[in-house]
Amino acid sequence: MTDRNYYTWQDYVQSQDKPALLLEAVRAYKQSDAFRTALEATAYFRGENLTVGRKTVLRAGKVDYTDESGLRRSRAVTRDVVGNRISSGFLFRFVTQQTQYLLGNGVTLEKPWLKRRLGTDFDRQLAYMGERALLHGVCWALWDRGHMEVMEAAVNPLSGFLPLRDELTGEAVAGIHFWQINAQRPMYLRLLEPKGRTLYRAEGEKGLSVVWPLRPWRLRFRDMRAPLVPLYANPERRSEFTASIKSKIDAYDNILSDFADNLDRANDVYWVLNNFGGTVEDIAQTLETINRLKAVASYSDGTGSASAEPHTLSVPYEARQAALKLLERALYRDWMALDTEELTGGSLTNVAIRAASAGLDLKANRFEWQCFRFVRELLRLLGTDTDGIRFRREPIANQSETVRDIAAMRGDIDRKTALRLNPYLQPEEADALAQAAN
């Protein structure tokens, strides 16, 4: 029996009502855990903590009412109101650091003409795909007519992409790209299959209608599948926005938001009124003005004389600060990211920098294989099989120390090598200087 959130290529082939199956596949995918996680990760990447976004605080107040005798009275009530909702930027920082560290300098192919065939914008597209893959678990590329089109697993609650996989191999034979401007507009759906692509439109209960019929792919591909290539975040094909990362970000943002709420309640002087002779209703009346007047009342202090004393609240700080620091360290450790605050001081050696960057290197190694596989599969679509694929990372180093090391090695290396190792020179600048020297 087909899982309600997953349809295969065989389901599509065997279906008697293919348009209906396409609509059902999209509907089921929108209800899947993968789609929900992808949307949630995108929100956190934008700095929108959905958990903190639902946070409220309890406030006291009063309501007026008329009793059975017709007398006007007041009573105390509490209600939930919107408090401070502070979101952090951890996910944006981690994803950007990992992506730019590995893909910031693009990809290098052993044959320059192959790189040109991929297009002048390929490096930027690859970096964007890497970003989306880390967030969603996968990002898809469609190659057709000499152009690569990037398709995200989830763009918003109405738009995304899902594959139709083969039940035997698990590979994507076809895919469904769907999008919608808003809920009041029609949904468009592209079926990408081995023979070509077809565009449909869905409106209300009318089902799918064909906008333009099957259009064959421009190139004839060796595999009997659509020219789709996935870039995965990891071998598990899961989002890097794990439950471990999410729970720590939520805890961090909640502590920060609660601290801000406490500051709001304690940022002014409030007054204690001694020997207040009012009734319970009178005190309820004052509850409405507590936040405005910062005044509370006591009935008597036993002295018989009335007085008013100003007071301030002291908000606990040390415990929260310690908790925030622990959570921040745990987040960097779990993501294996580099905390640049650890790299301080102009005398920091390259050995210390490499030690601090060890986790980021290991994380990038894992992601690099997925990027390598993606580029290789894309080149295979173009009829080229090569392993000459390299990614030049953006390392952090003490450049002055590096230059001193190069100078110390000058007796063992030639001028061209020394120029290429110089961190202050771009590769093309080093090559030009080397050629000028010759």
Q: What percent of the chain has pLDDT over 90?
A: 47
Return the axis-axis angle of helices 90-103 and 318-335, rounded to nearest 10°.
30
Asked whether the predicted pLDDT for residue 308 surpasses 60, the reply is: no
Q: Hey, how many other C-beta atoms are within 10 angstroms of the C-beta on 37?
A: 21
Residue 199: which of 208, 212, 186 has the closest Cα?
212
Q: What is the mean pLDDT of the chain?
A: 81
The predicted-structure confidence for 66-93, as pLDDT tens digits, reads as follows 767 776 766 655 555 556 678 899 999 9
Question: How high is the pLDDT of residue 23?
Answer: 95
pTM, entire model: 0.77
Residue among 172, 168, 206 at smallest CA distance from 186: 206
Instruction: Tell whether the torsion through CA atoms of 360, 361, 366 and 367 is positive or negative.
Output: positive
* Dihedral sign, Cα of residue 351, residue 348, residue 420, residue 363: positive
* pLDDT tens profile 379-434: 998 888 888 899 988 766 555 555 566 667 767 677 777 667 666 666 667 677 76
CA dist., res. 124 & res. 302, Å (int): 76
Contact present, 219 and 227 (Cβ < 8 Å)? yes
pLDDT, tens digit, 9 for 90 and up, residues 322-380: 888 899 999 999 999 988 777 665 556 656 667 667 889 899 999 999 999 999 999 99
Residue with tokens 């060890």: 358
- Joined together, the tokens standing for residue 272 give 């204690």
More confidently predicted of 284 and 46:
46
The answer to whether residue 292 scores a pLDDT higher than 60 is: no
pLDDT score for 234: 95
Say what the alpha-carbon torsion angle 8, 11, 17, 19 is, to the nearest 10 degrees: 10
Instruction: Give the range with max mean pLDDT: 66-70, 132-136, 206-210, 316-320.
Output: 132-136
Each residue of 143-191: pLDDT tens digit? 987 889 999 999 999 999 999 999 999 999 999 999 999 988 999 999 9
- From CA 200, how far away is CA 217, in angstroms rounded? 17
Backbone angles phi, psi at 77, to 5 degrees: -140, 160
Classify 331 in phi/psi space as left (phi over 0), alpha (psi -120 to 50) or beta. Answer: alpha
On the question of pLDDT at 10 being above 50, the answer is: yes
141: pLDDT strictly greater than 70? yes
